[in-house]
Amino acid sequence: MSPQIEVQLIAVVVAVAAALPGTFLVLRRLALVSDAISHAILPGIVVAFFLVESLSSPVLLIAAAMTGLLTVVLIELLGQTRLLKEDASIALVFPALFSVGVLLISRYAGGVHLDVDAVLLGELAFAPFDRLVVAGHDLGAKALWSMTAILLLNVVLISVLYKELKLATLDREQAAVLGFAPATVHYLLMGCVSITAVGAFQAVGSILVVALMIAPPAAAYLLSDRLSVVLILGGVLGAASGVGGYWLARGIDGSIAGSMAVVAGLVFLGALLFAPQRGLAAQLHRRARQRWSFAERMLLVHLLHHERTPSAAEETAGHTVHRHLRWSERFTAEVIRRAEAGELLRREAGLLQLTERGRQIAQRALLELDERDGLGELGGRDRRRRAGRTIPGGAVEE
């Protein structure tokens, strides 16, 4: 296998392995825990490295996973003191642990092959040079093997715990009542994040692990409501970012890891702008379309309210109604024209009168308000829970 293909393969495997636990981080609003963990595992890596003097030993994985869990526990402990807000706890814990790691490296790792830049930034281009050789046979790049193992671990863990993870994401309390031990599931997921982060740091560096864990699943989440689709799509978009990043880096002769993050960012930007329903473009389009129908309904409701009231003459005169609605005259004229064309209202002696159809529409508009629960994407957690068929963040249950 040529190094070129091997690098891309590693990139794909890292990206998919990161996107899987990343999906749950995004859905559970724990995205920044990945940032914290990926920084904070540094001292774990360093200490383990001192012990075994190798960067590819499984001991590193275990040490890093422990440090990752320690980070999560420390953040939670700080939060429990109620002396600090949660975001401040995160912002305090990981710089401290990261600093310990950097100091350990600077002070005691002089000369050995471990420097901060490598941990933080990674260099994928060198990964193929570190070969796994068993009994004289070259089996391929070590990083490819280790990341594939981590990917498999993530796949197995998420498949086995799929129901539990989904439920714990949906509703912690309910999961606990049903006996699913959400705390255990939580820490398993955090362990998963830690192992993935440490496995990936050599390839892409710790900060860019964050990009691969968060950006592709976030993009997928803008494109789909189904958890299983978000998971798979997140992996696909991550893999695409990996390959795209590799070619971008080759094209401009820059850092591969950095380019992968940039491409992941572009993929997210693309989803943010052009997602079929949730994208900014779709939002603008929908809003432009809704503007007229909303204005029309507003006018109809206004007329309905003032039908047969003492102030009707003042409120419903074709030439003064804009003042009451605080619209411009031109806009009002256009709304009236559209409503007239739709036979929703007619003019009688300068007053706007609802037609039977217009009255029905106005009444229905008001009725809809009473059933607002069923409408719209505005909703928070509560409504979704009440609806009983979707999970937080709107991913629809299969």
Partner 1 sequence: MTALFADHTLRVVALGAGLLGAVSGALGSFAMLRRQSLLGDAISHAALPGIAVAFMLTRSKAPVVLMLGAALAGWLATLAVMTIVTRSRIKYDGALGIVLSVFFGLGLVLLTLLQKRPDASQAGLDRYLFGQAAALLVDDVRAMAIIGAGALAVLAVLWKEFKLISVDADFGAAIGLPVRLLDTALTSLLVIAIVIGLQTVGVVLMSAMVVAPAAAARQWTNRLGPMVALAAGFGVVAGVGGAVLSSIVARLPTGPTIVLALSGLVLVSLLIAPARGLAWRALRRGQHRRTVEADAVLLDLYALALQHEEDLEHGHDEAVLRAMRGGQINVRRSLEKLAQAGLARRTGHGRWALSAAGRARALEQIDHAGEHA
Partner 2 sequence: MSRGLGDRARSWAIEVEDLTVAYTDKPVLWDVDVSIPRGTRMAIVGPNGAGKSTLVKSILGLIRPVAGTVRILSRPLDEMIGQVAYVPQRSQIDWDFPTSVLDMVVTGTYRRVGWLRRPGAREKEQASDALEKVGIAALGRRPIGQLSGGQQQRMLLARALVQQADIYLLDEPLQGVDAPTEHALIGVLGMLRDEGKTVVVVHHDLQTVEEYFDRVLLLNVRNIADGPVREVFHDENLRRTYGGRVGLVSRPQRRGSPGIDAVKG
Residue 50's H or E segment, with its range, is helix 31-52
Instruction: Please tell me the count of residues contacting partner 1 according to CB under 8 A.
Output: 64
- Helix, strand, coil shares of the chain, percent, nearest 5, are 75, 5, 20
Determine the angle formed by the axes of helices 182-204 and 31-52, rounding to 10 degrees.
Answer: 70
Q: Binding to partner 2 by residue 383, rule CB under 8 A?
A: no
Nearer to partner 2, 232 or 366 (CB): 366
Gap between the Cα atoms of 278 and 265, Å rounded: 17
CB atoms within 10 A of CB 273: 14
- The reply to whether 389 sits near partner 2 by the rule CB under 8 A is no
Segment lying near partner 2 (by CB under 8 A), choices 2-10, 96-104, 170-178, 365-373: 365-373
**Are 143 and 3 within 8 A, CB to CB?**
no
Question: Where in 17-46 is the site for partner 1 (CB under 8 A)?
Answer: 26, 29-32, 34-35, 39
Using the contact rule CB under 8 A, the part of the chain among 115-123, 161-169, 300-308, 338-346 near partner 2 is: 300-308
Q: Strand runs (DSSP E) across 290-355, as ranges?
A: 345-348, 351-354
Instruction: Name residues whose C-beta falls within 8 Å of residue 314's C-beta, 6 or more positions apart in sequence.
Output: 320
The site string for partner 1 over 351-390 (x = CB under 8 A, - otherwise) reads: --------------------------x-------------
Report the C-alpha gap between 348 and 322 in whole angstroms: 17
- Nearer to partner 2 among residue 251 and residue 376 (C-beta): 376
Tell me which of partner 2, partner 1, none is bound by residue 311, counting a contact when its beta carbon lies within the kind-specific cut-off of 5 to 8 angstroms.
partner 2
Q: Residue 155 to residues 126, 166, 290, 355: CA-CA distances in angstroms? A: 27, 15, 43, 61
The residue within the footprint of partner 2, chosen from 315, 352, 354, 390 (CB under 8 A), is: 315
Nearest to 58 by CA among 187, 188, 146, 189: 146
Confirm or reject binding of residue 239 to partner 1 (CB under 8 A).
no
Judged by the rule CB under 8 A, the positions of this chain that interact with partner 1 are 26, 29-32, 34-35, 39, 78, 81, 83-85, 87-88, 90-92, 95-96, 98-100, 102-103, 106-107, 110, 116-117, 120-121, 205, 207-208, 210-211, 213-215, 218, 221-222, 249, 252-255, 257-262, 264-265, 268, 272, 278, 280, 283, 377, 393-394
